[in-house]
Amino acid sequence: MNLKPRLVFFVVIAYFLTIYTAIYSYHIYGDENAKSLSMSAQVSELDQRFEQLSFIPKLLSDDSYIVNCIADKSSTNIQLANQRLRKIQRESGLDFAFLLDKEGNTIASSNWNDEISFIDKNYAFRPYFVNAMRGVKATYFAVGATTGIPGYFIAEPVFQESEVAGVVVAKMALTAPVDTWKSLAHDSAVVDEYGVIILTTNENFLYKPTRTVSVQESTAIQSERRYIIPPRNFKDNESIFSRYIRHSKPLSTEPWQLMTFSPKLALHKSTMAKAVIAFISLLTLWLLYRTYKQQRRLVSYEQKHSRELEEKVRERTLELEQAQDVLISESNYVFLGRMSAAINHEINQPLTTLRMNLASLRQLIREPKKNIDEIEQTIIESDRTTKRITRVITSLRNYARSNTINLETVNLNNLISDSISTIELERPLMSQHLVVETYERSTSIFGNHVLLQQALLNLIYNAIDAVIQVPNPVITLNLTHPSSTTEVLSLMTDATITRLLSEKNQSTHYVNITVSDNGAGVPAHIADTLFEPFTSEKANHQGLGLGLTISNQIAEAHRGALTYVRKNNTSAFSLILPLQYDQTNS
């Protein structure tokens, strides 16, 4: 029996499998690296959305209408709370906002007069209620017990005389990020702490466990009425998930994971095509070697036939190389496609500037004669913008959590100079219409430079937006020292005057930073609520209406005030700050 052909066959098969395994492993590694970038963007989007949403119920927990409704459940207070919740729900983009008493009964809701209402519904069984009643913020994902609509719940305790008297809850459906993920080349899903898929671009995965759910976990899910798990466990889903390559990345705001699913079949097809090409290429090289040896033995009498054979082999090699180049090019496009992540969430003005810097940098790099100094300056400006974003967000977040600020000596001339530099960088065209009139003498106060700069930038940006359609726009920034306390009080409302006079160790010397413009001014219907949250004069809901609210809070945190005056067709916002005060009582 001739064993040589059979042995050659097994050697060839083993050789091909080795090549296939190597290419497949390389694809797995590349797929993981490509998914890592996309998943980081997706996780960042979710974490950012959760952090932004948490600010709304925090504001509601301190709202006077909500606090009054908890303290006195009269029909008038309940109706005012209903209207307040409806207003916040519509302006902030929430799906629902509602108020629970200490027993978990709904006493006010944004849908109080809808066909499906939460009024008189009891949600004491929900974990977010139980945790919020302990005095801490609570988050939760579940299918709505009343509406049947899944969503993300954020609950904040409402305090009355240092005791938890109720809970205010905000609910948001997370359909927007899922719709964005559908444009990616792979399926994405969010897995909760029980290993169950709660958000996904593939409806066949929804509420399916990715691991074995214990009896205790299943009991907890049913008691909380979180969602309904299909009557089959992980072992029944193995046949579904086994068809995909899975990668996961944890979220920082929730004990959840983002998971991606890539079909194994597509990867096997791509691997097979490349393995065949590699095998044929190596086989061709082997044949060339065999041919070369044969040529040396037959060169004396088969030179003509050797040249013909060599020519054929050369043509065949060229065809294989061209085919390989095409496949490599296609692979590069696939790789780039997997790395792409659609993030269409505009954070703020500095981010727009950063994108403009990157566009300028891209153009500079493409120029034949590269201006290294200009490229370096663009990189420095981009780095400065990213650092400013980080500093502002960190300072505002720390201030929102603790309601305190880190104080330091702040030179107001430097503060104004830094602010003007930022405006010239971020709004270069409109900055040409900005006139700066500063006090000649160097003036310093005790405060927080980052927060004060953010407050001043908010006022300047509002002025720019107010005059952007004006034929001859004029924006004026003025730093003055009022001559007396009476002159300062003349700029303020009665409520602000009462607050300042009630504070201990209040300074009698002030500095006034005024930002004025010749725009149309604040509409009359929002003048009384100008500094309240979610009040905005911008059309098409271009903002949440928090800019003036934050600026006003920063002014009050520095024992100062923010005022608005309309006079002689000119709108003026004044940031009034004390020159000195005893920080030990702040």
Per cent of the chain over pLDDT 70 is 77
Cα dihedral across residues 380, 386, 387, 392: positive or negative: positive
Mean pLDDT (whole number) for 433-457: 83
Domain boundaries, given as residue ranges, for the chain: 4-21+266-339, 62-172, 347-404, 407-585
Phi, psi of 183 (to 5 degrees): -80, -10
Cα angle 458-460-464, degrees, rounded to a multiple of 5: 115
What's the one-letter identity of residue 380?
I
Query: Which of residues 390 and 252 earns the better pLDDT score?
Result: 252
pLDDT-wise least confident of 66-75, 425-434, 464-473 = 425-434
Mean pLDDT (whole number) for 490-512: 66
Q: What's the pLDDT score for residue 5?
A: 74
Residue 580: pLDDT band (50, 70, 90) is low
pLDDT-wise least confident of 184-198, 313-327, 518-532 = 313-327
Query: Which of residues 133 and 495 earns the better pLDDT score?
Result: 133
Whole-angstrom Cα distance, residue 252 to residue 250?
A: 7
Residue 134: pLDDT band (50, 70, 90) is very high
Per cent of the chain over pLDDT 90 is 23
Q: Which residues of 268-301 are buried (b: 16+ CB within 10 A; e: fewer)?
A: eebbeebbebbbebeeeeeebeeeeeebeeeeee
Beta carbons within 8 Å of 366's beta carbon, 6+ residues apart: none
Whole-angstrom Cα distance, residue 316 to residue 311?
A: 9
Residue 273: pLDDT band (50, 70, 90) is confident
Query: Which of residues 466 and 488 earns the better pLDDT score?
Result: 466
Q: Please check the confidence at residue 413 and state whether its pLDDT lies above 80.
A: yes
Q: What's the pLDDT score for residue 581?
A: 47
Mean pLDDT (whole number) for 313-340: 56
187: tokens are 């399926």
Fold of the domain spanning 62-172: Beta-Lactamase (3.30.450)
Query: Which of residues 131 and 497 earns the better pLDDT score?
Result: 131
C-beta of residue 38 within 8 angstroms of C-beta of residue 341: yes
Closest among 524, 520, 511 to 559, alpha carbons compared: 511
Query: Which of residues 351 and 253 earns the better pLDDT score?
Result: 253
Mean pLDDT (whole number) for 342-359: 57
Whether 407-585 and 62-172 are alike in CATH topology: the answer is no
C-beta of residue 60 within 8 angstroms of C-beta of residue 53: no
pLDDT in tens, 190-202: 999 988 999 999 8
What's the one-letter identity of residue 2?
N
Residue 69: pLDDT band (50, 70, 90) is very high
Fold of the domain spanning 407-585: Heat Shock Protein 90 (3.30.565)
Q: What is the pTM of this model?
A: 0.45
Whole-angstrom Cα distance, residue 560 to residue 547?
A: 17
Query: Which of residues 31 and 259 earns the better pLDDT score?
Result: 259
pLDDT-wise least confident of 75-84, 219-228, 526-535 = 526-535
